[in-house]
Amino acid sequence: MEAITIPVIVDENRRVVLKLPDSTPIGLADLEIVVHPKADTANGSDKTGQAAPANPAREAARIKLAAAGYLSNIRAPADAVPLSDEEIARIGRLPPGARPSEELIDEDRGLLAHP
């Protein structure tokens, strides 16, 4: 037996819509619903003491992206050092004597016809 876990949001109509992965076998299956405790908005945590999501809309989007297989879980290495503002600006600049970005884009995409 293979278990598939898909995070969902139960809407105000108590409705859930599922799109199962293409690898899901067709046939008889059991559906198990595990309801997570509601957050206590007074102190910002749920009944288990865990912090409530800061932005419920963002969490809903994350759940949908994860269910669709589009949420990346890639994390920076623990020893990664953030770039300074100067380093970010340097990365965003073309080297001296380089062709302007507009020329490179036109070359790549072709010239657009303007009315």
5-14 pLDDT, tens digit each: 777 777 788 8
13-41 pLDDT, tens digit each: 888 888 888 888 888 888 777 777 765 54
53-85 pLDDT, tens digit each: 677 888 888 888 888 888 887 888 999 999 999
Q: Where are the domains of the chain?
A: 1-72
Per-residue confidence (pLDDT) for residue 33, from 0 to 100: 77
Report the distance separating Cα 109 and Cα 59, nearest Å: 37
Residue 47 · residue 57 · CB < 8 Å: no
**pLDDT above 70 for 109:** yes
**Pick from 14, 18, 55, 15: which is nearest to 5 by CA?**
18
Rounded to two decimals, the pTM is 0.30
Per-residue confidence (pLDDT) for residue 51, from 0 to 100: 62
